[in-house]
Structures are given as structure tokens and as C-alpha cells.
Amino acid sequence: MNGKKSKLIRKKSVEFLVEWLRTMLIEEEQKKVSISNYKQYLPEQSHVFANNKLIVSAYTPRWFQKKIKDVLKRKSIDKITYNDII
């Protein structure tokens, strides 16, 4: 994959993650979450061991990247929205 496209995917995944986090929090806490501090609100473990496999945990930046890559087969990166992923 192209480096520029990978960078856009990573950036978009963080945006979607912050948007998802805001839906899970109350209004006062929503204002505190931003792209610069979203990692405080996530668990430390990004992978889960299940069925004798190590898999990516749901709703992590890497999980969002995988979902964006799946949607990229049908849409361009500029037109992907949060609702396409979830």
C-alpha cells in the first residue's frame, strides 16, 4: 500500500476512534476527549487471545484501520464516514 494512503488511513482511524469514544461518554467527558489525548481512555491491551489466536481488539485504532481498508474497496477515502465503518 502507498505510504500516503496508509497515513490517511491512520489519521482517519484516529478520527473515527475519537468520534466513537465521544458516543460512549457523558457530555462533560466528551469535551475532554481529543485526538491528542484519546489514548488515556483506551485499555492498554490492543490484542486479545481467543480460539488459540491473537486477534485485534474491537474499537482500537488498528481495528478501525482494518475496517477502513475493507470499505476502501467500495469507496474513496474522502467519502468514508463513521457510519460506513460501524
Number of domains in the chain: 1
Domain enclosing residue 79, as ranges: 3-85
Question: For residue 28, what pLDDT band results from cuts at 50, 70 and 90?
Answer: very high
According to the model, what pLDDT value does residue 64 have? 94
According to the model, what pLDDT value does residue 11 have? 94
Give the pLDDT confidence of 39-76 residue by residue, as tens digits. Answer: 888 888 888 999 999 998 889 999 999 999 999 999 99
| C-beta of residue 45 within 8 angstroms of C-beta of residue 39 | no
Contacts of 39 (CB under 8 A, 6+ apart): none
